[in-house]
Amino acid sequence: MSSLTAATVDPEKLRPLLHAEVDKLRNDSLLVLHRVAMELELDEVSDRLNAGFDEDRANGKLARLPEMIREARIALGLRRIP
């Protein structure tokens, strides 16, 4: 891989370089890279969800959640599961 660092390359210019490097990898390395990519994506999604919940909590949107669940169960004719 090139000696360029992420700090010196625009991410949009880095994308094609990474694609070229991926094309050169052995199959077992591709599996590892795929796992790393999935972990990165999971971290990003988790961060966005946490930020969203923090914002909703700060705005009081989650305060009514137990009541809303109770109302939904009643409307759907569901009993509370212990």
What's the number of domains the chain is made of?
1
In a domain, 36, yes or no: yes
pLDDT, tens only, 25-74:
999 999 999 999 999 999 999 999 999 999 999 999 889 889 988 899 89
Nearest to 2 by CA among 26, 31, 24, 33: 24
In a domain, 82, yes or no: no
In a domain, 54, yes or no: yes
Tell me what pLDDT residue 54 has.
Answer: 95
- Measure the CA dihedral 45/50/51/54, to 10°: 160
In a domain, 5, yes or no: no
Residue type, 66: P
Range of the domain at 51: 11-76
In a domain, 38, yes or no: yes
